[in-house]
Amino acid sequence: MPSLLLLAGDGIGPEITDATKRVIEHFNTAGAGFELVEGLVGGAAYDAVGTPFPEETLQKAEATDAILFAAVGGPQYDHLAYDERPEAGLLGLRKHFDLFANIRPAIVYPALADASSLKREVVEGLDIIILRELTGGVYFGEPKTIEDIGNGQKRAVDTQVYDTFEIERIARAAFDLARARRGKVTSMEKRNVMKTGVLWREVVEATHRQGYEDVALDHMLADAGAMQLVRDPKQFDVVVTDNLFGDMLSDVAAQLTGSLGMLPSASLGAVDERTGRRRAMYEPVHGSAPDIAGRGIANPIAMIASFGMALQYSFAMLDEARALDAAIAAALEDGVRTADIAAGGPSVDTKGMTDAILAHLQRAA
């Protein structure tokens, strides 16, 4: 039986998780047989058991096929030490399962082309992927310290570090993705100032020569790439970049679509040679939105679409994944909007949006 670990976390996390459970139950009624396990992570876990990343959650994650993660964080946790903060739960899961390939699609649904802060013609029909390296770079590099250096001065150090194999495997993932799409990869780094950028480009090019020459490859400095992303985003297909640049560029890409509340993501590990399977975690790109938490008005689409990515990448249920995407698009076509994408017009709550998606799923089934 396929199994999923649901981690609701903080803020709007529990609300969008409940919405997504209803969608999963729809597929179960149709015979999918998903076994759902729930666990604690982030601030919710810290409040309950004193750590954002409990051992029990790790064991549950080991025992299930994939993780569906909602969101973590909130202002009430700002005073905590770095490794007690809610984000430590998220980073811990990424690192523990070596989920190095973070696929962040930025898709503009036709019905929402006017929700973007960019002109309709710039974003209409947009369908790109930011492929972010997720387990290396400055997020995890050592040393990572703040030390006292006397005279009332402190020194903070983060370390940006990449080994060849880390760049090579994310480059391969980029070429494989592009091959199934429009066949174009743009690699972004800062080789003009960073040694990791120099190695990044070298390894991406070497990997390209090893059997990927059918895919078009170009390179941009990450700052120029950010500018191109807002100037003419449709020039891209797959953008591959490191952990920190990917964090920023994926938020930029998200805004092209009009709402952070729309975008799902998949974080994948390597394919296990014995079982042919890969570890995976699916999560919305947006955060815990503490400002609207508890009011039942959050947009559940990013999390529901994250489940859709799980159908695609972890369970090879491609028809179901397509049906779910179509139901989301159809609900939007009908004019159903949560407040974040309503541009001041009439809006429904989390339940209303979920009802609309479920109605289209049921009609199609």
Q: Where do contacts with ligand IPM occur on this chain (CB under 6 A)? A: 87, 90, 247
Nearer to ligand IPM, 237 or 247 (CB): 247
In 3D, which of 243, 321, 252 has the Cα closest to residue 282?
321
User: Which position's Cβ is nearest ligand IPM?
Assistant: 87
CB of 100 to ligand IPM, least distance (A): 13
The residue annotated as part of the active site, out of 65, 176, 251, 355, is 251
- Tell me, yes or no, if 212 is annotated catalytic: no
- Is there a catalytic annotation at residue 340? no
* Under rule CB under 5 A, residue 247 binds Mg ion: yes
330 binds, among ligand IPM, Mg ion, none (CB under 5 to 8 A by kind): none
Strands 3-9 and 66-71, bridge-based pairing: parallel
Residue with tokens 């149709």: 30
Task: Please say which residue, 245 or 315, places its beta carbon nearer to Mg ion.
Answer: 245
Tokens 């390939």 appear where? Answer: 101
Given the rule CB under 5 A, which of 12-20, 30-38, 239-247, 296-304 is the region that contacts Mg ion?
A: 239-247
By beta carbon distance, the residue nearest Mg ion is 247
Name the strand (E) or helix (H) holding 271.
Answer: strand 264-271
Residues 254, 129: contact at Cβ < 8 Å? no
d(CA 27, CA 222): 41
Annotated active-site residue in 18, 46, 60, 190? 190
242 is an interface residue for Mg ion by CB under 5 A: no
> In whole angstroms, how close is the CB of 244 to Mg ion at the nearest point?
10
3-state secondary structure 282-328: EEECCCCCHHHCCCCCCCCHHHHHHHHHHHHHCCCCHHHHHHHHHHH
Instruction: Judge whether 52 and 84 are in contact, CB under 8 Å.
Output: yes
Residue 242: contacted member of ligand IPM, Mg ion, none (CB under 5 to 8 Å, by partner type): none
The verdict on whether 190 is a catalytic residue reads yes
Distance CA 195, CA 190 (A): 8
How many whole angstroms separate alpha carbon 133 and alpha carbon 232? 23
C-beta closer to Mg ion: residue 64 or 250: 250
d(CA 198, CA 190): 8
Instruction: Return d(Cα 317, Cα 44) in angstroms, integer.
Output: 32
Contacts (Cβ under 8 Å, ≥6 apart) of 38: 5, 6, 7, 8
Instruction: Output 139 or 307, the one with its CB closest to Mg ion.
Output: 139
- The nearest distance, CB 90 to ligand IPM, in angstroms, is 6
Residue 270 Cβ, how far from ligand IPM at the closest point, in Å? Answer: 20
Size of the site for Mg ion (CB under 5 A): 1
Question: Taking CB under 5 A as the criterion, which residues in 277-296 touch Mg ion?
Answer: none
Tell me which of 139, 212, 282, 313 is the catalytic residue: 139
Is 237 among the catalytic positions? no
Which of ligand IPM, Mg ion, none lies near 90, with the C-beta cut-off 5 to 8 A by kind? Answer: ligand IPM
Q: Are 44 and 9 in contact (CB under 8 A)?
A: yes
Instruction: Provide, rounded to whole angstroms, the least separation between the CB of residue 247 and Mg ion.
Output: 4
Q: From Mg ion, ligand IPM, none, which one binds at residue 87 (CB under 5 to 8 Å depending on kind)?
A: ligand IPM
Residue 68 in contact with residue 304, Cβ under 8 Å? no
User: Which of 83, 114, 223, 334 is labelled catalytic?
Assistant: 223
CB of 87 to ligand IPM, least distance (A): 4
Q: How far is the CB of 262 from ligand IPM (least distance, A)?
A: 15
325 is catalytic: no
How far apart CA 185 and CA 175 sit, in angstroms, is 7
Task: Decide whether 247 or 340 has the Cβ nearer to Mg ion.
Answer: 247
Helix, strand, or coil here: 270? strand
CB under 5 to 8 A by kind: which of Mg ion, ligand IPM, none does 237 bind? none
* Nearer Cβ to ligand IPM (102/312): 102
Cβ pair 356, 348 in contact under 8 A? yes
Binding residues vs Mg ion (CB under 5 A): 247
Catalytic residues: 139, 190, 223, 247, 251
